[in-house]
Amino acid sequence: MTEVHRYKAVTMISAAGATIGYDPHGPDVVMATEFDRVTAERDALQQRLNAADQRIDELTSPFQSRVQPWLMECFGPMIAGDREERNHRFLEEALELVQACGCSAIEAHKLVDYVYGRDVGEPAQEVGGVMVTLAALCLANGLDMHESGETELARIWTKVEQIRAKQAAKPQMSPLPGAYPQRTPQ
């Protein structure tokens, strides 16, 4: 903010134009144009601070709670809450990530057989394992998982209509193109 020029009021003049008094140590006064300029600068800075505070609030709310509005807007409550659909989409994205990081289809198939040959885990513990191993995978590949998540969330908000159209065109209740009549919505 720029400096305001201040003046000493040594002689005060009434609204009618009469001299009120003389004080060599009178109060500081500023010109109306200077006051208006500085007030406008202050207001603009306050707006920028408010916008920055709002962005901080958005970024500090948990990521999961910021994904939910997109999920509901894009798919509605039925598809958003369909556990099989969410399982399939998560597995698809996880496979795309490891493929992009160099995992082969043969390695992926071996890991599927290994995992499904063991006892079923507890979901909350497995989520923790996913979070830890995702962070480790990102570290090993020089990726920032938080930045990547924020970038993707911002990107998919711009593609809601395209994602809805893609969802509407695919066969219902299917992890892949094809019909699975034994599946019913949850």
Q: Which of 157, 151, 175, 164 is nearest to 95 (CA)?
A: 175
**Confidence band of 180 (pLDDT split at 50, 70, 90):** very low
What beta strand segments (E) does the chain contain?
7-8, 11-13, 19-22, 28-29
Instruction: Tell me what the mean pLDDT of segment 139-157 comes to.
Output: 96
Name, of 9-13, 85-89, 130-134, 174-178, the range with top average pLDDT. Answer: 130-134
User: Looking at residue 124, what is its pLDDT?
Assistant: 95
Contact 80, 71 (CB under 8 A): yes
**Residue pLDDT, tens place only, 113-130:** 999 999 999 999 999 999
Burial of 85 (0-12, 13-18, 19+ CB in 10 A): buried
User: Looking at residue 172, what is its pLDDT?
Assistant: 72
Q: What angle do CA 73, 76, 79 make, to 5 degrees?
A: 130
**Confidence band of 179 (pLDDT split at 50, 70, 90):** very low
Instruction: Tell me what the mean pLDDT of segment 151-156 comes to.
Output: 95
Instruction: Tell me what the mean pLDDT of segment 37-60 comes to.
Output: 85
Q: Chain-centre distance of CA 31, in angstroms? A: 45
